[in-house]
Amino acid sequence: MSFPTQRPRRLRRTPTLRRLVRETSLSPDNFIYPIFVSEVVDKATPIASMPGIFNFPIPEAVTEAKRAFELGIPAVILFGTPTKKDASGSSSLKNDGIIQRAIREIKAGVPDLLVVTDVCLCEYTDHGHCGVIRDGMVKNDETLEILAAQAVSHAEAGADLVAPSDMMDGRVGRIRRALDNSGHGMTPIMAYSAKYASAFYGPFREAAGSTPQFGDRRSYQMDAANSQEALREVALDIAEGADIVMVKPALAYLDIIKEVRQKVHLPVAAYNVSGEYTMVKLAAERGIADERVLTMEILTAIKRAGADIILSYHAPQVARWLAE
């Protein structure tokens, strides 16, 4: 049977009908909100490359986290800028480091909000790479030891989940073992499993001061041309003990999100990254698109592709729109 018996437009006639048959909807529950905390600033400082996003000193980061929680967002993920950087990212391990202090203050101020930490070296190394360098190469196995110590230090400070974003081989297993051996057997790992080498991270690197000082990240982050490799990375991370797997970026990788969602039985996260955010902001500022309509379309598409969890700088704004 086809036209005129079949008329798909019958179900699109009114807003209420469309609401009845809508297959995908967003909720504040789906979001993790990224917050930048900095040892370098003494007041909230706008990030030029990300309109509406700030680098916060710790007290203001607590206020921002509370605001997100009150809007119904269950989790924040923290990115830190330290005052001191060195070759091995040692300031990332300090008990009184920027992230460790921020975790304690946020957990004290908003105990039920989940605090996720990004486990990586690039914000703490003077060369801006995600691991230690020997002979011009990012060394995998040496880096694992630092990442494991960093994850334990975050858990010790009270982090609810740790999220390794470095893309070293074997880091999920190494971190799992370190957490288990230090009394943090119940701290879940959200692995940045399929993390691509992407120009969409540009605005973030300005925010976090983590641009590599030489070369690029292509020897550890994935090639944008590959999808089989993403499934392999995801399978390895699950075998090593990942509790949640992530695809990053989101918008140009909806096919990857969909494939991962179909193949695994864990929560799947997708990172709506800085470049995706800033493109929307600039298009809206220029009057080329309506920010609300464009943002909701993009985030709904990421969820429709199969993301259970979305990391997004738009999270508080979306929660406000959803409550209207």
Known catalytic residues are 195, 248
Whichever of 12 and 257 has its CB closer to ligand PBG, that residue is 257
Phi, then psi, of 123 in degrees rounded to 5: -80, -10
Q: Is 274 in the site for ligand PBG (CB under 6 A)?
A: yes
What token pair was written down for 176? 């799992």
Distance of CA 250 to the CA centre of its chain: 10
Q: Is 162 in the site for ligand PBG (CB under 6 A)?
A: no
Select the residue interacting with ligand PBG from 130, 144, 155, 161 (CB under 6 A): 130
Least Å distance, CB 94 to ligand PBG, is: 18
Read out DSSP for 152-171? HHHHHHT-SEEEE-S--TTH
Query: Within 10 A of 20 (CB to CB), how many other CB atoms are there?
Result: 9
User: How far is residue 294's CA from residue 52's CA, in Å, rounded to a whole number?
Assistant: 16
Q: Which stretch binds ligand PBG (CB under 6 A): 86-94, 116-124, 138-146, 222-230?
A: 116-124
Q: What letters, b where the CB count within 10 A reaches 16 and e where it falls short, cover 176-189? A: bebbeebebeebbb
Least Å distance, CB 205 to ligand PBG, is: 6
Q: Which stretch binds ligand PBG (CB under 6 A): 40-48, 199-207, 238-246, 299-307?
A: 199-207
In sequence order, what E strands does 165-289 have? Answer: 190-195, 244-248, 268-272
Least Å distance, CB 199 to ligand PBG, is: 10
User: How far is residue 83's CA from residue 232's CA, in Å, rounded to a whole number?
Assistant: 37
Instruction: Count residues binding ligand PBG (CB under 6 A).
Output: 11
Select the residue interacting with ligand PBG from 98, 113, 114, 122 (CB under 6 A): 122
Least Å distance, CB 16 to ligand PBG, is: 37
Q: Is 304 in the site for ligand PBG (CB under 6 A)?
A: no
Q: Using alpha carbons, select from 289, 166, 181 the residue that is nearest to residue 219.
A: 166
Select the residue interacting with ligand PBG from 165, 193, 278, 312 (CB under 6 A): 165
Interface contacts to ligand PBG, rule CB under 6 A: 118, 120, 122, 130, 165, 201, 204-205, 210, 273-274
